[in-house]
Amino acid sequence: MSRIFNFNAGPAALPLKVLEQVKAETLDFRGTGMSILEISHRSKFFEQVLDDAIDRTRRLLGLNKSYHVLFLQGGASLQFSMIPMNLAVAGKPVDYVDTGTWATRAIKEARNLGKDVRVVASSEDKEYTHIPENVPVDRDAAYLHITSNNTIRGTQWRDFPDSGGVPIISDMSSDIFSRRFDPKPFGMIYAGAQKNLGPAGVTLVIIREDLLERVPKELPTMLRYTTYSENKSLYNTPPCFAIYVADLVLEWIEETIGGLDAMQKTNDEKARIIYGYIDSQDFYRGTARPDSRSKMNVTFRLPDPELEKQFLAEAGAAGLGGLKGHRSVGGFRASIYNSVTVEAVKALVSFMKDFAAKRG
């Protein structure tokens, strides 16, 4: 079996240990004589998987009992609509920070629903190459929405804004479980799994009890957060396989890696290796402002488009995949999520050095 170094932005790399366990259990899930793909979501076997995923999420993030851990479908993109539908408050504005594509889409969906949307800070004037320094806070806002990591532009919040008690709602799709942070200011955290947690098909939603009290009863059943909190994500058939794989990834972070502090240390090392090289020369140019650089998505350009075509082709031939930048911005993007190894990053930097020596 020949595996490449996978730098895809999502669906993205999964830990090899997890993939091997999935392979081993595909035909016979833990002695049941059934595949995990065949097991009833109402069975004790799947209930154990779901409970374990919830418990590991709580332990890793340090969540108190006021938070509900839910598993939904529809990706983070469905949450862009569900959040204002469920959590906006009549007579109060909803505040958003615009740091690029995914934040912009969240703003659009809230406006589509006729909510009083205010963009309180934005980095659009600098082509979203940084995180806004100052975020004004209005204590009358229903919530403050941020996107913790911008996969396309390669920017990330180093420190979250002081919301003055206003519940922060954050899309953490691409950096969930990558570092330690204080969850208390957050009323809700959500994440599509396919970048840093598991396969596509499941969305993690962590929501505080007081925000559930806002949910309008007249919303369609499947669009109410309370439907999931009251039924432990089992109102209808959940994405069982995706939850199972996510649970294995959580187990890997907790037991193999050693928790979030150890995971963060490894992620810091990977970022140091690649950004250290980019900063040491002038052939490759990083596109994000240094004080806003993402430790999950490293974006860079080469001197001209022809060289970029050659770089992409030769990188693929060298077993380095998924480096092409998002179609909206071009260039390159190395996604160095939790599952991407230090070895993979070193291999990328070695290739970059060789390519620059030949073409620079």
Eight-state DSSP code of residue 277: H
Give the three-state DSSP class for 288.
coil
Q: How do beta strands 94-98 and 117-122 pair?
A: parallel
CA–chain centroid gap for 28, Å, is: 31
DSSP result, 129-196 = -S--S-----TTSS-EEEESEETTTTEE-SS----TTSPEEEE-TTTTTSS----TTEEEEEEETTTT
CA distance 353 to 23: 36
Total Cβ atoms within 10 A of residue 286:
18
Is 157 marked active-site? Answer: no
Total Cβ atoms within 10 A of residue 5:
22
Structure token digits, residue 340: 């991407």
Of 244, 203, 282, nearest to 47 (Cα)? 244
CA distance 38 to 34: 6
CA distance 75 to 201: 7
Strand partners, 96: 119, 145
Is 252 marked active-site? Answer: no
CA distance 264 to 170: 19
Is 171 marked active-site? Answer: yes
CA distance 297 to 257: 21
Q: Which of 98, 171, 175, 247 is catalytic?
A: 171
In which order are the strands placed within the sheet that holds 94-98? Answer: 67-72, 203-208, 186-192, 168-171, 144-147, 94-98, 117-122
Q: Which of 195, 270, 295, 324 is catalytic?
A: 195
Roughly how many angstroms between the first and final C-alpha of the chain, as a whole number?
35
Active site residues: 102, 171, 195
